[in-house]
Chain A
């Protein structure tokens, strides 16, 4: 603002030296004298208007493929929305606040790489000098944009810098570190922003967000996350119905997508996902009449991992990837209808994903 009159004065000086003074008539000088103040006024006013904060990226389409930043099925209140209160101007204009209480898990809104995090601070309050004390995470989407999660709890980090983070994975816990006003002050501040360059502040101008699950919630609305679970699976393809002769062997491939945020490993306890036999036929964890491990099964011996388990063909299946389960089934010697129901199971943890997926042999 102060620069405007000053620029004008230097501009006048340049104009004066650029025009040959001998050719100026007194009328011109009078006009210049009359209009200079007017011009000053116009420039000053234009300066006022130019200085008004304009939300950057106002016309940017809302980003999709984002999910609410806390675990699935939990509900929190939207306490801050774009353009209101502490989000009245950039860089926070398009940010949201949710009233996650202290210790509530904060989950990644999208897949990304952990770019920056600070979890060493333990203070917060409404005083301005707390502006610098918020613990935070910056998660890089690797498409030029990142999300910033702020006011997190001391030492509540869940991952390391450079880690690949899948949508839904916890990345910290809510708290009230940094400048937080309101009662209670606990909340999560989240903004989607241009990825900060190296050596730059973690805060850049925010851009509009539209979550796939909660849309663009209004202030004070209570919203429920549909973010990814730790373990989840969705049946993709492979189920078949064969008309078979007795003792005929069929090579099958069932495909399930890892729709959780955790990686499936073949050989890591607590992360091993298999296909397990389930109800109604042959029953939960029961041996099947049309397939099983090479030895030790009650009925049929084929090439399964265990009598009631089929393993994926790869040792690791990342979130979003499809796991292939290759296995043989063999028709018994007695004609009849033989079903095999399979479901994904995290060994020793939980059964996950779709039910009702089966293979059928119609033995004639």
Chain B
């Protein structure tokens, strides 16, 4: 009885070890996939809107949240940069209809049509991209082009507005109110570095 019990215990232990090994292996594979997706820093160039940004390791352009908007008389389109994996982003988008949590810790470049060639400060004053009580505006430059920086405005923690030809660029990042929405590994330093890396390419 005692021997049989020991054999049974050994088999059970072996089974547990095997299950554990499979779980650990699964975890390693999953980590490996994530690493493969995000291990390299990269440069993204927007041919549609004429700028490029440096994306730190782990960051990518969101194909799902970026796009052209030919049907809009106001907005030409937007480019969104995220640290979320495609699957995590899909989960964040699922079951929501407004901004969060999908846009938490993203860099967003919105490009507005500006046929009247308004200045960036006129654009900010008009409030087309929104206004928030207590927002602060100050002169700033983006890759040598003068513009306006707005802190604590609508939707975003920081936005730079720059007028270039028939376009107004709003280059922004947004954090989140709740820690639960922070994508793993995302931090404000990365958001700031992406904003700071923006260069015009034409």
Contacts and interface: CB of A to CB of B under 8 A. Distances in A.
Interface string B127-161: 11111111000000000000000011011011000
Given A2-B184, A129-B64, A132-B108, A120 B130 contact: yes
Given A122-B74, A129-B65, A201-B176, A86 B95 contact: yes
Given A120-B130, A197-B177, A200-B177, A34 B97 contact: no
Given A37-B20, A86-B95, A86-B96, A201 B155 contact: yes
B171 interface: no
Contacts of B134: 198
B177 A2 contact: no
Contact of A116 (B101, B131, B157): B131
Interface residues of A, number: 64
B99 A201 contact: yes
B36 to A, nearest CB: 13
Nearest to B89: A128
Interface in B168-199: 174-178, 180-181, 184
A150 B98 contact: yes
B155 A132 contact: yes
A91 B100 CA distance: 7
Contact of B13 (A34, A89, A90): A34
B23 A37 contact: yes
A190 B174 CA distance: 22
Contacts of B126: 120
B37 interface: no
B31 A2 contact: yes
B177 A201 contact: yes
A179 interface: yes
Interface stretch (A19-27, A38-46, A210-218, A324-332): A38-46
Contacts of A4: 27
Q: How large is the interface on B (under 10, 10 to 19, 20 to 34, 35 or more residues)?
A: 35 or more
Interface string B1-43: 0000000000001001101110110010011001000000000
Contacts of A281: none
Nearest to B96: A92
Contacts of B31: 2, 6
Contacts of A56: 178
B53 interface: no
Given A6-B31, A121-B75, A129-B65, A200 B175 contact: yes
Contacts of B155: 118, 132, 201-202
A37 B21 contact: yes
Given A114-B133, A117-B154, A134-B99, A44 B23 contact: yes
B161 to A, nearest CB: 12
A204 B178 contact: yes
A199 B152 contact: yes
B111 interface: no
A40 B19 CA distance: 10
B102 interface: yes
A128 B101 CA distance: 12
A85 interface: yes
Given A189-B97, A197-B177, A201-B176, A131 B132 contact: no
Interface of A: 2-6, 33-34, 36-38, 40-41, 44, 56, 85-92, 113-123, 127-129, 131-134, 136, 138, 140, 148, 150, 154, 161-162, 178-181, 189, 194, 196-205
Interface of B: 13, 16-17, 19-21, 23-24, 27, 30-31, 34, 64-67, 69, 71-75, 78, 80, 93, 95-104, 108, 110, 126-134, 151-152, 154-155, 157-158, 174-178, 180-181, 184
15 contacts: A2-B27, A6-B27, A91-B181, A92-B98, A116-B130, A116-B132, A122-B75, A127-B67, A131-B99, A132-B80, A162-B133, A178-B97, A180-B97, A201-B99, A203-B177
